[in-house]
Amino acid sequence: MLNYIWFGMMAIAVAAGIINGKIDDVTAAAIDMAEVSVNIAIGLIGIMALWLGIMKIAEESGLIRIIARGLRPITIRLFPDVPEDHPAIGSIVLNMSANMLGLGNAATPLGLKAMEELQELNEQKDTATNSMVMFLAINTSSVQLILPATVVALMGATASDIFITTILATLLSTIAAITAVKVLEKMKRFAPDAPSLGTGSGEADHD
Amino acid sequence: MIEFVVEGLSNIARYIIPSLLVGIPFYALAVKKIPVYEVFVVGAKDGFTIAVRIIPYLVAILVAVGMFRASGALDLLLEILAPALNFIGFPPENLPLALMRPLSGSGSLGLLTDLINTHGVDSLTAKIGATMYGSSETTFYVLAVYFGSVGVVRSRHAIPAGLFADAVGAISAVYLCKLLLI
């Protein structure tokens, strides 16, 4: 899937760039974004370190397990292949809470921690599990209880008008995400062992 | 009433991070007698490796998205989709933002700023735009970072599911605003 989408985006970009006379912009964007990507990753180091450190304390003190156990009735339905008490559930719950509260800076490190723990349960290290896809889908469609700071800054007092609409829209998109994942994961073409373009010669580093 | 709730929630949100930063170590130290400083450092060590590990995935996705944005392909897509969207009552002014949202955070913020400046902060167009912006994430970026951090390259149904949810979010934003804000 990603192979075609990735190539398709670039191929369409080049074709549209030629048609629109923007081929120079396309070239510049490719070079720029390569640099931007590295800056984003480097910028994550500090904040990642901070939250991973705090998370380690939460884990060692048993706090994560307490959270995971408390929300088990909900999470068992969404992530049936994650065993009870597994630390992944704790990280997932914390990531979802951070997302709902608009704490983007805290959400990413917590989410990556959850991915790492989900990867421990994964038998095919280069392929996403059902739980990983579910987690990602809920994450990107997350219910938003707090409006993004950028929106509040742009809209001022008017921002409170869209408080309810944002909560409801995110609620609907989360329901759509969960339903879509549950339906699609049963389809043959999305099965973990569905044939793809080789196994990827680039043996991605699963250390 | 709503202003009060919004303000209350934002005020609570301001205290969440400081409370976690102090509360978690406090519990560990006072109740469980855990050497919090030493444990923190062990956990924090992974920050660097994870951040570096996502670089190739980010480069792949962001370069493709950047090229796509710069090429004006989005305008072509707009023209193709316009008749269908007109038919279901989706306002054309809000379409660029809906299409940009899963691709780029800064790009969609730029479009939202534009909408607010052109139509005014009180306009329905601006409110639909802001709801759209607030109710979705940059799906491609999150996928690159999250899957990249553990070396997952075969994303299976993640993209179709994510984009479907984005579409539902964008369409809901339009109708909810039309329903509740007029």
CB contact under 8 A, B169 and A10: no
User: Residue A186 has which token pair?
Assistant: 């049963």
User: Residue B175 pLDDT more than 90?
Assistant: yes
Quote the pLDDT of residue A198.
58
Q: Are A117 and A86 in contact (CB under 8 A)?
A: yes
- Judge if B111 and B51 occupy the same domain: yes
- Judge if B39 and B93 occupy the same domain: no
Quote the pLDDT of residue A22.
94
Strand partners, A127: B154
- Judge if B53 and B39 occupy the same domain: no
Which amino acid appears at position B131 of this protein? T
- Judge if B135 and B174 occupy the same domain: yes
Residues 6+ apart with CB under 8 A from A92: A75, A79, A114, A135
User: Residue A55 has which token pair?
Assistant: 């998370």
CB contact under 8 A, B40 and A170: no
Q: What 3-state class would DSSP assign to A164? A: helix
Residue range of the domain that includes B172: 47-180
pLDDT for B99-147, tens place per residue?
A: 999 998 888 998 999 999 999 999 999 999 999 998 888 999 999 999 9
User: Residue B152 pLDDT more than 60?
Assistant: yes
Q: Number of residue pairs across A and B with CB atoms under 8 Å?
A: 376
Among B5, B46, B70, beta carbon nearest to A29: B70
Quote the pLDDT of residue A199.
53
Give the CA count within 13 Å in the CB-facing half-sphere of B33.
0
Quote the pLDDT of residue B130.
94
Instruction: Show which of residues 11-30 on chain B sit within 8 Å of chain A, judged by CB atoms.
Output: 13, 16-17, 20-21, 24-25, 27-28
Mean local confidence (pLDDT), B4-30: 84
pLDDT for A55-84, tens place per residue?
A: 899 989 988 888 888 888 888 899 999 987
Number of domains in chain B: 2
Quote the pLDDT of residue A101.
80
Neighbours of A35 (CB within 10 A): 12
Q: What ipTM goes with this model?
A: 0.87
Q: What 3-state class would DSSP assign to A138? A: helix
Strand partners, A70: none
Quote the pLDDT of residue B1.
67
Quote the pLDDT of residue A105.
76
- Judge if B108 and B174 occupy the same domain: yes
CA quadruple A78, A143, A5, A110: dihedral sign = negative
- Judge if B56 and B7 occupy the same domain: no
Q: How far is A184 from chain B (nearest CA, A)?
A: 6
CB contact under 8 A, B159 and A2: yes
- Judge if B93 and B152 occupy the same domain: yes
- A62-87 burial by CB neighbour count: b if 16+ within 10 A, else e? ebbbebbeeeeeebeebbeebeeebb
- Judge if B17 and B85 occupy the same domain: no
- The mean of the pLDDT values for chain A is 88
Confidence of residue A207 (pLDDT cuts 50, 70, 90): very low
Q: Are A137 and B158 in contact (CB under 8 A)?
A: yes
- Judge if B2 and B62 occupy the same domain: no
- Judge if B52 and B130 occupy the same domain: yes
User: Residue A201 pLDDT more than 70?
Assistant: no
Cα A136 → chain centroid: 4
Quote the pLDDT of residue A205.
45
Confidence of residue A173 (pLDDT cuts 50, 70, 90): very high
Quote the pLDDT of residue A182.
96
Residue A56 DSSP one-character state:
H
- Judge if B56 and B108 occupy the same domain: yes
- The mean of the pLDDT values for chain B is 90
Quote the pLDDT of residue B11.
74
User: Residue A206 pLDDT more than 70?
Assistant: no
- Judge if B40 and B51 occupy the same domain: no
Q: How far is B92 from chain A (nearest CA, A)?
A: 19
